[in-house]
Structure 1
């Protein structure tokens, strides 16, 4: 590990692993893998966007360093995170002779990581799994914590497992090829961490918006490192969401997942849906008196300065969105539990929130457009 590389340890006993954060450190990917799970065979899962940008070159580098590589490419986009694609990957792996000594490596964003991790967790009852995230959203959030899975038509991430990676290698230089819209979508999860866990970090983001928008390397390194440490702390405290502590990571996501499902997982990027969902959650937090007046305005100001949406699309039916929210995994005992804010750095789970308040929080302009 070079002097310019940061190492974050996720302490989970026998499932512990490292997150290595650096610039240009993907060149040492083979060594990173072999130091943690010695192998001769790597199954690389990537998508049609990342293959030509990064995965082909990284796979060639693995081959040059003596590893046998099976490269599996899926179509880019959320629709690929489905049962049919998982079945296709399982079948290809069986045909190509993948065995218990093979490891799976996800090179891509959240869709690739979630799908590849799910396939790794289930093929031959579990193969070691590594992440080399190439999007900001994946680097700061989805590559860490071991949540893997696929979508059903009526609900996001409804089939899945907890399957911790053997290691996560984050190279912020890979973000240089990330389209602007994808980059800004990833920032939604960054803002989320400031809201839910770290008021000082939220203030840092407000003070460094210019550097964020300019993708300054030193700002990105700090942002990724802080988010990974915050998530690692939560995962260590509640790995499989049994105590309720990990649920705070879903701030804005119950609304956001409903928005994604209502638009067929194609219209909104995950981070865009989360940004809107966070705005809905903030409005609801203020409406029920949990958060102070002005909380929503401050949160929305940061999201909008970064270039993220904060308004629910007016053509969506609030009643349909609420129905989709009731299919969320956080529904327990007939109660819809929502992660709502008390102040910056402090959120909690709230149940029995009135449906009328939720519908209003989805957006007054939306409800007016629907004639409600």
Structure 2
């Protein structure tokens, strides 16, 4: 065979190999598979987690997503990261009523906590459900003018020019070429690892902890339709997510400056409805409600006890709105708070795997 022809074939193969190395999503590359550490409690009571076929969990993908989550490189001025509004110490939420973007502008909703989102079977994210996947959820804040106020081309260019990231993308996805799809895939992989299942109540459910009489009465208040009546929207011991992931108008306002889910769907029947947040980790996630109007759990409990306000879209589950709420006794209020705090998980906010690696 002609030597020049052989040389031509070798060069062509080399060029194809290099091209593949720079293309997003090389089908031939396999990162190290990583199964989610599903708690036994979840295995017993929940369906398997939602893992997209086109974004499987990998060791390298999670590591990359963790680095990106804590890195302000995604913002226009390199001052704001995902973790700026979703801090581990606050249950991956924000202790401020409204998060402040890079231009000093406050948002209009409280930052939702991030945990156990791989079990969100309804696949709607944010208070209004406008994002339908975790990958999609990670797209918006980068370009939001009151958050990171960047553009994706600029964010991608910054990551591409970094000395470390191209190699990390190679490890995670088999390509050194960064794009926003791979950025959000990596962040979503990390967020799916944020699992909280070691609260006092979890251990009580598993038979390794005891509740006090006050906490037990609080559980009874929570489950009693004639007292707290909380379980319809927030689940019960057989549903350890402590949310139904559905949208409700819980009697906060007579009229709506924020239409919530109705702002997304345009359906007047959904004006003023917002997604039920999980009751896990309430010890760390104050302030409460979509607009962070309540600073304490006492205020939240008082709202449902005697602060309900009627509006045209109020949820039928707010059955006692005509009398202002469920009218709890002071003892039941105190016991309900004691129970709710048993749903908090100190090991979650201190887990070394969930902290800033940078």
Normalization by structure 2: what TM-score? 0.28
Higher strand content, 1 or 2: 1
Question: Larger radius of gyration, structure 1 or 2?
Answer: 2
Return the structure number with greater relative CO, CA threshold 8 A, min gap 6: 2
Higher helix content, 1 or 2: 1
Normalization by structure 1: what TM-score? 0.28
